[in-house]
Structure 1
Amino acid sequence: MEPRTFALANLHASTTCSRKFLIDHTHIQTQELPKFFVQLSKRSSKPVSNGLQKDQRKDLSRILRTDAAVKGVVRKANSRKYQQLWPKAVLEALDEAIRENQWENAVKIFGLLRQQQWYEARCQTYTKLLIMLGKCRQPEEASLLFEIMLSEGLRPTVDVYTALISAYGQSGLLDKAFCTLDDMKSVSDCKPDVYTYSILINCCSKSRHFDLIGRIRAEMSYLGIKCSTVTYNTIIDGYGKAEMFELMENTLTDMIESGSCLPDVFTLNTFVGAYGKFGLIEKLEKWYNEFQLMGIRPDIKTFNILIKTYGKVGMYEKMSSVMDYMKKWSFSPTIVTFNTVIEVFGKAGNIEKMDEYFKKMKHQGMKPNSITYCSLVSAYSKAGHITKVDSILRQVENSDVTLDTPFFNCIISAYGQAGDVKKMNELFLEMKERACKPDSITFATMIQAYNAQGMPEAAENLEKKMIATKEISGTRLIGC
């Protein structure tokens, strides 16, 4: 379907809602660009820049202090004798565990918190824990936590119910999410609001239950609850990711015709991302121009999406033109920008260009992260440059970069493919020392490497370990 034509020239970008929730606005892809860059430069006498984009990581000493504090409190949580701890230590450890989505530690610390003589039950604490459990896909823990809250005599608030709905919805338990919504509606002074419905719509979109979105919007209309900009952006994002472009464009029409919720840069990025992801470059550029006519200007994320798009389809000249344009208008490249370019050239097998941008990244004072090193290791491994993989490993060991499971999977795979089983095993042990849990990819990679090297017994033993790990991981921790 051809995009509808709107009278957009007099529209202006709206401000984003202050009460936002977590929606994945993905990075995506693209092709022809020079024309709409010219249009943007004509409309923009003043360049927009977010300033120098620095990695906001805490310094290493603070990370170590905080990590030690959390571990110390967790150790105390495993004992019943600590009932008179200082509030500051326990509360800070709980906040840090929640912030880092360490749900096992968080629920242990919360159990310790409830043992303290000074403990006072608060809905805000439960809300934060429920949101975290939703992100970590732990609906059973969230349900148990809600029961504990009720047992403490607390009356759930709108935020508590909304967080619980999100916890169920993010795990695909939509029946439970809708039942919770019904329970919420039966409580006086605790009626669902636009934020609650936006969360539910987001969960339905992620679960590909688009048939439920109409039902939710009809209910909102019946209750007199108007969609917000966030609501519309959520629906548009869901349709875009599902390649339902006609519905995506129709929702944009509804958004504009509402008169109260105008498109913003998130809407722009969603359209650019959706069309770019599926290689519809002409559509992407057409809508890019339409959004400019609305007065909506791109941000650094828009350009990162375009860079990834052009790179993915092999249009390197256009990718370079985006980067040149960013430089001209003082858009500072971020860690995402460099990681995208490094990944693009790495997958294309252009090691020289990849190394060039890796050096540029470091020269600009940008700290590589786990994603950067993953791309480098994958490219070197694919090209058969195992000595360069060794070099990356040394760099990582001498840095304070936070490593994660995907990085270890990547480097374990590199050494496995090179036939270096000893190094692969060493990295597997180091992975556990750094508290990175092996996943199914880790085990599958190692089992494949063992079989390729004629080590069936080692492969069988590792498969047994994988099964045991899966069985242990289901244990409940909020038994307080």
Structure 2
Amino acid sequence: MASISSPAHPYPSGPNWNRRRLSTKLSSQCPQSTPVRAVDMENAKEKEAKERKEEVNKKTASRKAISVILRREATKALIETKRGPSNSKKLLPRTVLEALYERISALRWESALKVFELLREQLWYRPNSSVYIKLIVMLGKCKQPEKAFELFQTMVEEGCPVNHESYTALLSAYGRSTRFNQAFSLLEYMKNTPDLQPDVHTYTVLIKSCLHFSDFDKVEALLSDMEAQGIRPSTVTYNVLIDAYGKARKFAEMEAVLVEMLQQEECEPDVWTMNSTLRAFGGSGQIETMEKCYDKFQRAGIEPNIKTFNILLDSYGKAGEYEKMGAVMEYMQKYHYSWTIVTYNVVIDAFGRAGDLKQMEYLFRLMRSERIKPSCVTLCSLVRAYAQAGKPEKIGGVLRFIENSDVTLDTIFFNCLVDAYGRLGCLAEMKEVLEMMKQNGCKPDKVTYRTMIKAYSSNGMAGQAKELRNFIESEEGRQLTVLKKAKPDF
């Protein structure tokens, strides 16, 4: 098994820093060989008084800040609990709006709508189109097109001016939920209404929705429609197309879009263009092509960002190019690129695949020391590596870590755990994972059961495999019956 030898440490070593600090401390304690002048004594006193004053001011500011935070948190608690009383109509605008925007950013649509209802009850409330648009966009991301339409109607009823931006938000909500009939009908309505003419953003939003569901025919129709309307694609439009074609392994189409983009004077490639291109070639194992593209983008003056390096690390790691992976890590260290959770997940997975458990565990400890919370992706990499190395006791260590942490587990992690125990022949532990899933509110899916059937079959337990197959068939039959009963008779 290949291994990654002597990786570059992404952070400065501790001992050197400690020696510098110790040296400074010792030098400050050395006695002075010459008498201290009166002026120096006076300056020292002034400096000491100034430092004491600054310390007092800091403590006062800190107490004030804590007081403000506590008052705001208490008011936000009212937002969640108080509905209707007269005092709930006199909340501070800033507090209510902060609570609303926090929920919108977190895509907590139900809670956001409750806060918005409270916002509308305030004595100082005035209808605002931008707030409605933010909420409609959020509902689109949460696959709630009906709620988005209801909010759009409310916006019209309250007298808010509607323009192409608000219609684009509603169109996006339909597109994200595959309601393409409504989305395209809305687009036609906008085209036929002088004050609502769609722009490049409108088309880009709909193109992105179609590409998300790999409906390339609709995309071609939209691009032709844009050309007929005299609307030119923007850099964002081209980036969306490049990214989608790359993920679908449609490299000819991706390169054609990139060439067309470079021919447009008003569309300059940016770091998003570079990252999408590198991800497409690197993810498919075309390392040499990826490197050539990286050089060309750099020569064009496009500077890489942390996502660029994460893509390079991931591509080199999966291709087994460990020396090049180490070179990227050294470059990141040299130019002070801080590691993100994605960076850690990529390198932990690479070390795990290489069978270098010592380095993998070191990076996991370093990740936690940097206060970066591990995710299910991190844990899956650890479990896979330990299963590959034949160390079930180490998987137990991962489970003990989870018990003492607040990591939210998902079905993908449990499927990874089922697969690991199955490969190791730990069938009793594999079966116990189902109970763990139940305790964590996760339901087994087809992947879970198929993985278990494969493990039973490979370990000569044909009876258990057959029993599980019969269970899956009976469950599928039951669900089909429920669906038929629930289907309305038109």
Q: Same fold judged by TM-score > 0.5?
A: yes
Which of 256, 262, 270 matches 2:268?
Answer: 262
1:252 aligned counterpart, secondary structure = helix
Aligned to 1:303: 309
> How far 1:356 sits from its partner (Å)?
2.8
The answer on whether the counterparts of 2:143 and 2:177 sit within 8 Å (CA) in structure 1 is: yes
Look up the equivalent residue of 2:188 and give its one-letter code: D
Mapped to 2, the partners of 1:312 and 1:130 lie a distance apart of: 40
Which of 285, 296, 311 matches 1:290?
Answer: 296
Listed as ranges, the matches of 1:189-338 within 5 Å are 189-338=195-344
Aligned to 1:353: 359
With 298-307 and 117-126 compared, the bigger mean Cα shift is at: 117-126
Look up the equivalent residue of 2:176 and give its one-letter code: Q
Mapped to 2, the partners of 1:272 and 1:102 lie a distance apart of: 33
2:256 aligned counterpart, secondary structure = helix
> How far 1:259 sits from its partner (Å)?
0.8
Look up the equivalent residue of 1:340 and give its one-letter code: V
> How far 1:406 sits from its partner (Å)?
4.5
Residues 413 and 241 of structure 1: CA distance in aligned 2, closer, same or farther (over 3 Å): closer
Look up the equivalent residue of 2:250 and give its one-letter code: M
Mapped to 1, the partners of 2:73 and 2:125 lie a distance apart of: 23
Look up the equivalent residue of 2:440 and give its one-letter code: M
Which of 175, 184, 197 matches 2:181?
Answer: 175
- Identity of matched residues, %: 44
Mapped to 1, the partners of 2:121 and 2:466 lie a distance apart of: 54
Map Cα deviations across residues 280-328 of structure 1 (whole Å, 9 max, x no partner). Answer: 2222222222222212232221121111112112222222222223223
Look up the equivalent residue of 2:398 and give its one-letter code: I
Mapped to 2, the partners of 1:66 and 1:393 lie a distance apart of: 38
Mapped to 2, the partners of 1:311 and 1:167 lie a distance apart of: 38
Task: Give the count of matched residue pairs.
Answer: 402
Residues 248 and 413 of structure 1: CA distance in aligned 2, closer, same or farther (over 3 Å): closer
Map Cα deviations across residues 178-210 of structure 1 (whole Å, 9 max, x no partner). Answer: 111122334443322221111112122222222
1:419 aligned counterpart, secondary structure = helix
Residues 347 and 166 of structure 1: CA distance in aligned 2, closer, same or farther (over 3 Å): farther
Which of 419, 422, 432 matches 2:428?
Answer: 419
Mapped to 2, the partners of 1:174 and 1:230 lie a distance apart of: 21
Residues 83 and 158 of structure 1: CA distance in aligned 2, closer, same or farther (over 3 Å): farther
> How far 1:252 sits from its partner (Å)?
1.8
Which of 340, 343, 346 matches 2:346?
Answer: 340
The answer on whether the counterparts of 2:414 and 2:433 sit within 8 Å (CA) in structure 1 is: no
The answer on whether the counterparts of 2:287 and 2:316 sit within 8 Å (CA) in structure 1 is: no
Residues 72 and 453 of structure 1: CA distance in aligned 2, closer, same or farther (over 3 Å): farther
Mapped to 1, the partners of 2:123 and 2:192 lie a distance apart of: 34
Structure that is richer in helix per residue: 2
Look up the equivalent residue of 1:260 and give its one-letter code: E
Look up the equivalent residue of 2:163 and give its one-letter code: T
> How far 1:277 sits from its partner (Å)?
1.8
The answer on whether the counterparts of 1:312 and 1:344 sit within 8 Å (CA) in structure 2 is: yes
The answer on whether the counterparts of 1:339 and 1:372 sit within 8 Å (CA) in structure 2 is: yes
The two structures have a TM-score, normalised by structure 1, of: 0.69
Aligned to 1:137: 143
With 315-324 and 369-378 compared, the bigger mean Cα shift is at: 369-378
Mapped to 2, the partners of 1:68 and 1:426 lie a distance apart of: 39
Ranges in structure 2 where 5+ consecutive residues have no aligned partner: 1-67, 457-462
The answer on whether the counterparts of 2:352 and 2:360 sit within 8 Å (CA) in structure 1 is: yes
> How far 1:419 sits from its partner (Å)?
2.3
2:267 aligned counterpart, secondary structure = coil
1:189 aligned counterpart, secondary structure = helix
Mapped to 2, the partners of 1:311 and 1:122 lie a distance apart of: 49
Which of 436, 440, 443 matches 1:431?
Answer: 440
The answer on whether the counterparts of 1:239 and 1:248 sit within 8 Å (CA) in structure 2 is: yes
Q: Does 1:147 align with 2:189?
A: no
Ranges in structure 1 where 5+ consecutive residues have no aligned partner: 1-61, 475-480
Map Cα deviations across residues 346-380 of structure 1 (whole Å, 9 max, x no partner). Answer: 34544333213223334555443343233223433
The answer on whether the counterparts of 2:351 and 2:360 sit within 8 Å (CA) in structure 1 is: yes
Mapped to 1, the partners of 2:450 and 2:85 lie a distance apart of: 44
> How far 1:218 sits from its partner (Å)?
3.5
Look up the equivalent residue of 1:195 and give its one-letter code: H
Map Cα deviations across residues 210-234 of structure 1 (whole Å, 9 max, x no partner). Answer: 2333433333334343322111111
> How far 1:85 sits from its partner (Å)?
4.6
The answer on whether the counterparts of 2:241 and 2:257 sit within 8 Å (CA) in structure 1 is: yes
With 89-98 and 353-362 compared, the bigger mean Cα shift is at: 89-98
> How far 1:119 sits from its partner (Å)?
5.0
Greater relative contact order: 1 or 2 (C-alpha under 8 angstroms, separation 6 or more)? 1
What is the CA RMSD across the aligned residues, in angstroms? 4.3
Listed as ranges, the matches of 1:87-98 within 5 Å are 87-88=91-92, 91-98=97-104
Look up the equivalent residue of 2:323 and give its one-letter code: E
2:249 aligned counterpart, secondary structure = coil
Aligned to 2:20: none
Look up the equivalent residue of 1:335 and give its one-letter code: I
